[in-house]
Each structure stands twice: as structure tokens, then as C-alpha cells.
Structure 1
Amino acid sequence: MSIEQRARNFLSVLRHCQVLGMTVEQADESGLVIKLPYSELIVGNPVTGVVHGGAITTLMDSCCGISTVCYLDDFEICPTLDLRIDYMHPAEPGAPIFGFAECYRVTPTIIFTRGVAYQHSREEPLAHVVGTFMRMGKGTLESGQVRPAAGGAA
């Protein structure tokens, strides 16, 4: 199975990502790009239409977490240990937001990720993110289910 298909499978089992309409735009050895379309569901200020910061946090936590499939040989359960987001400026109302994430270090127990949220160009980020994820072992994605390896926790 290709890296992109593994990323799509991972995203497809995350209900909050489905509700928000997120899609995998790119997934390969260089990292992952996920698109969050603009909708009323993510508006934080109904007067201005500005996107709520929580929607960007959801996008970037999901993007960093799913980026692990770009670097690991097999799917592993990797919950978020820590996520730091530095917001640079608000998102433009009406336009989709993209999240890019890459793993920059993989150890036997921790995966370190970094990325940006942007609309028009990665060089003009809305936010910078760094995240760490705990490796809990191999699991499988079958029939929309995430199953931990034997003895692992979900």
C-alpha cells in the first residue's frame, strides 16, 4: 500500500476529520499535506468569518499525527504527547487552510514532528507547529477500525 493510501486510510477513521471535510492532498517521504475546507463549522467569529483557532489546532494535531505513516514502515498507534502551536496571523475567511507536517526525528519510543498551517504558501504560515508522539507499537487499519498490537492500548 502506498504512503498516500495509508495516510488516507488513517484520516478516514478520524470522525472529527470527516465532519470537518479534511482530505489528504499529498503524502510521501517528504511529508504530509492535509486540506481543511472553509465552512461555517470552523468559523470562530460569525461577524468577520475568521476561523476559530481550535480548527487549526485540530488540523495540525491530525496532520502531525498522520505524518508518522510517511516515515514508519508499518502503521503504529502514536498518540500525541505534546503539541505546541505558534499562531502568526488569522486565516483569511472563505479560503481553505492547508497543514503540512514532517517527522524530523524517529526514536524507538518517540516521534518528533514539525509543520505549518498556511493558505496560499508555506512561506507565509498562519501558524508553526511542533509535536511529539509516543510510539505504542504496530496496529492495523481494517474496516475503518484502528486496532492496537497485541498487549497495546487503544
Structure 2
Amino acid sequence: MEPGMKPEGRAERDHLNAATQRFTQKTGQNSEESPRRREQCHHYHNDPQLEVNFYTGTNEDSDIAFQFRVNFGDCVIMNTREIGMWRCEEKCYNVPFEDGKSFELRICAHYDEYKVMVNGQHIYNFLHRIPPLFVNMVEVWGDISLTRVLVYN
């Protein structure tokens, strides 16, 4: 386990300028979701197989500066939650993830936006709605096998 990681898979930081995540999707396994997690999900057509949340506080009720959700084979949705309200989501149908194949997801917080790279290729941009300076916790959730999370300046 990386330094600063909690057993639940969350990393807390005072300031987050860049975050790198490496994930491996599970093959042939279904993760069991807790009832609490299911209640917090939005009403999706399909539940996302991968979700990354950059929280401004240290609990799941905190604002989310950046949410990155992937429905494999369908779409990627990016959004922000401020004062308990979801803002307008940005949806992209360019989904470079393949079922059962390893991939590297890199999310870098730049001055004005998050830049998302998949397998070394720049794929998405998301303009800051809440400055990354306020991010204190990163949550990674979904039907994946997480192999590494790095948070650095």
C-alpha cells in the first residue's frame, strides 16, 4: 500500500496538483456493492465500472471538484458536485477502455483544467469548477483491480 493510503483506497492530501492512477479491470468477476454505495449512485442506465472522485473534504458527503465515471463500452461522464448539487455533466463517447484489458489512467490537475490520459494518450479535458487546491481526498471505486495510485506535486 502506498504511503498516505487508507485501507479503503482513499488518499488524503492538503493540496492536489496532480494525480496518477493505474488500474487493471477485473475479468470475469463482479464486485459486490454495499447498500450505502448503491444509495449514493445516480440513476444510471448502467452503473459505472469505474469512478474516480476528487473530494474537497474527507467524507463522501463533501463537494466533488472532479468526478470521472466510465461505463465500459458506452461513455465517460465528468462532473462536479457543489453544495450538494450536481452541475452540468460532460459526456464523451470516445471510450478507449477495453473489457478485460489493463489500462493506465492518468489525471493531471493543470492550472485551468484536468487533463485525462489513457494509455499515454491525451483523451479528455475538464475545466476546473472548484480549484484543485481544495481537493483533500481521492476515491477510486468500481469493478476494477487497482494496482497503483500516485498523488504528487
**Fold-level similarity (TM above 0.5):** no
Structure richer in strand, relative to its length: 2
Relative contact order higher in (CA < 8 Å, ≥ 6 apart): 2
Q: TM-score range by the shorter chain?
A: 0.3 to 0.5
So what's the TM-score if we normalise by structure 2?
0.38
Larger Rg: 1
